[in-house]
């Protein structure tokens, strides 16, 4: 910020008072927001930390979810985000590659794709859930059952694959935006050097651009995983289950999810007071998971940004 020295004049006392008031007011607003964050996190850490143990992370829920652990929910969330990543990362990276490397300048298609990505990012999570039910389960799943299994119910029902595909659509904008930023950070001279040696466009991308962009792509993937691990609304009807005695092993199994588990325990528990310690611990696990992912992504992004600045 530019240095500012008060110029002495008759109005300056009034002006200084007004400036002080204005600065304090906005400062208080910032303080309120920061305090809210601290209170939320503090409350959850204080109430949840005592209950987390190795047993809690590795056992299944018992006694109507008042005892035992949350292993199936962790495993389900993990499987969900792995499947999701397998779909969303290639799709998102390819979209970014097209927009940044392939498309001609001022391309109409790029404009429309960018608009679609922006709008996809704004679609409410619950609408993705509706879409997953209407498209993946009712249309694709039912269609597969009709065509492949003679009408037997295999895929026309909530399943982890449908939940993962729904979540992949939800997180697509995250991956595209991060990948595009990574592509933008690569100096043009790298590409030019490769082209000058006679490489084709795909060779330049595979040998020069992609290896350079791995960090940014990773950032996008991690942010997507963090988002996917925390969202509940899209998987409520597409595959998440209240409670399952087994772990998902096939693509059309249902699964337990951490966020959904929190929701179920909070709202459907027969005895809230008894579930409370476990509930807090589950919330803390979910928070630690998403925060550690976000933190990793931010660290990688900061390194890329500093390199981008250095490169210019």
Indicate which single residue of 125, 244, 247, 288 sits in contact with other proteins (rule: CB under 8 A): 125
Residue 151 contacts other proteins per CB under 8 A: no
Count Cβ atoms below 10 Å from residue 29 Cβ, excluding itself: 10
Indicate which single residue of 65, 161, 164, 210 sits in contact with other proteins (rule: CB under 8 A): 210
Q: Which is nearer to other proteins, 139 or 246 (CB)?
A: 139
Please, which of residues 175-194 interact with other proteins by CB under 8 A? 176, 190, 193-194
Q: Which is nearer to other proteins, 57 or 94 (CB)?
A: 94
Residue 78 contacts other proteins per CB under 8 A: no
Q: Mask 22-41, x = binds other proteins (CB under 8 A)?
A: xx-xxxxxx-xxx-xxx-xx
Q: Torsion angle of alpha carbons 79, 83, 89, 94, nearest 10°?
A: 180
Q: Which is nearer to other proteins, 38 or 49 (CB)?
A: 38
Indicate which single residue of 161, 167, 205, 281 sits in contact with other proteins (rule: CB under 8 A): 205
Supply 57's token pair: 């992370």
Residue 279 contacts other proteins per CB under 8 A: yes
Indicate which single residue of 49, 58, 67, 134 sits in contact with other proteins (rule: CB under 8 A): 134
Residue 74 contacts other proteins per CB under 8 A: no
Residue 283 contacts other proteins per CB under 8 A: yes
CA atoms within 13 A on the CB side of 138: 8
Burial class (CB in 10 A: 0-12, 13-18, 19+), 283: buried
Residue 113 contacts other proteins per CB under 8 A: yes
Name the segment binding other proteins (CB under 8 A); options: 54-62, 63-71, 245-253, 291-299. Answer: 291-299
Spatial neighbors of 264 by CB under 8 A, at least 6 apart, are 65, 242, 243
Spatial neighbors of 137 by CB under 8 A, at least 6 apart, are 155, 156, 157, 158, 159, 162, 237, 238
Q: Which is nearer to other proteins, 13 or 82 (CB)?
A: 13
Spatial neighbors of 179 by CB under 8 A, at least 6 apart, are 92, 93, 95, 96, 97, 213, 216, 217, 220
- Minimum distance from residue 160 beta carbon to other proteins (Å): 17
Q: Which is nearer to other proteins, 86 or 249 (CB)?
A: 86
* Distance from C-alpha of 217 to C-alpha of 211, rounded to nearest angstrom: 10
């Amino acid at each position: 910020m530019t240095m500012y020295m008060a110029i002495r004049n008759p109005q300056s006392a009034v002006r200084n008072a007004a400036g002080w008031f204005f600065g304090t007011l906005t400062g208080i607003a910032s303080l309120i927001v920061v305090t809210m964050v601290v209170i939320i996190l503090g409350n959850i850490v204080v109430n949840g930390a005592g209950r987390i143990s190795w047993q809690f992370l590795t056992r299944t829920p018992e006694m109507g979810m008042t005892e035992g652990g949350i292993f199936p929910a962790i495993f389900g969330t993990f499987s969900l985000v792995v499947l999701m990543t397998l779909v969303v990362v290639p799709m998102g990276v390819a979209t970014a590659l097209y927009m940044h490397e392939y498309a001609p300048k001022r391309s109409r298609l790029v404009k429309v794709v960018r608009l679609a990505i922006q709008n996809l990012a704004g679609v409410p999570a619950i609408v993705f859930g509706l879409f997953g039910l209407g498209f993946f389960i009712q249309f694709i799943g039912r269609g597969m059952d009709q065509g492949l299994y003679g009408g037997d119910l295999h895929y026309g029902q909530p399943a982890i694959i449908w939940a993962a595909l729904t979540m992949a659509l939800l997180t697509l904008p995250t991956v595209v935006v991060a990948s595009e930023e990574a592509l933008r950070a690569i100096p043009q001279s790298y590409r030019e050097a490769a082209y000058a040696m006679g490489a084709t466009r795909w060779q330049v991308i595979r040998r020069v651009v992609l290896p350079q962009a791995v960090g940014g792509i990773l950032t996008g993937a991690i942010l997507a995983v963090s988002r996917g691990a925390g969202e509940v609304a899209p998987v409520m009807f597409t595959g998440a289950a209240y409670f399952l005695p087994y772990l998902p092993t096939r693509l059309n199994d249902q699964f337990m999810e951490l966020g959904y588990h929190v929701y179920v325990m909070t709202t459907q528990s027969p005895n809230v007071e008894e579930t409370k310690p476990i509930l807090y611990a589950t919330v803390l696990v979910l928070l630690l998971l998403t925060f550690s992912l976000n933190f990793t992504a931010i660290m990688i992004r900061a390194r890329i940004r500093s390199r981008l600045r250095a490169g210019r």
